[in-house]
Copies of this chain bind each other. A is one copy, B any other.
């Protein structure tokens, strides 16, 4: 129990520090200071600096996926589920800006040298979208010629880009909920009148 708490404390400190400076610009000693532990203590819980980022991603993505699953489950109509995905995603980003920044930017960047890390969690998250699309196609609600593999990425990319904008922008012009609604609308009904 003690272990678990300190491990978690380090991860939360890492979120803050990585979000502030980026993975490579962050020093392990800064994380230690933020977590109020000694530098060496970090190495009792993680193999190395990379390992912190990977664990951070695993732990947080698990939480995110669970949250997303339970939110989607509240809706039955696949069209509503799509909307819900966008809304929930942006809601999570809104609540947890620092974490969002790390999950979006740092992990993506760092994945280059962490080739061995196959990022299963991210795939799981994306598949939540394609599952909805397939369900919608099954129910005859979505066009059959939509490729779920492509569509999940396109939809995710759109939400991701907008939430990044939202995180980084100093003053928020549009509410995150309005934005979420608009994106899902474009996808669902298109732009052409």
Contact = CB atoms under 8 A, between A and B. Distances in A.
A188 B193 contact: no
B191 A151 contact: yes
Given A158-B158, A192-B142, A182 B151 contact: yes
Interface string A144-155: 001101110111
A181 to B, nearest CB: 10
A106 interface: yes
B162 A182 contact: no
Contacts of A186: 146, 151, 154-155, 186-187, 190-191
Contact of A179 (B105, B150, B174): B150
Contacts of A105: 108-109, 112
A158 B105 CA distance: 16
Contacts of A141: 192-193
| Copies of this chain, tallied across the complex | 4
Interface residues of A, number: 49
Nearest to A147: B182
A146 B142 CA distance: 21
A25 B112 contact: yes
Contacts of A65: none
A183 B22 contact: no
Contacts of A146: 182, 186, 191
Nearest to A24: B24
Given A22-B109, A154-B158, A156-B161, 13 more contacts: A24-B25, A79-B192, A146-B182, A146-B186, A150-B183, A151-B191, A153-B158, A153-B161, A154-B162, A155-B186, A157-B160, A187-B191, A189-B190
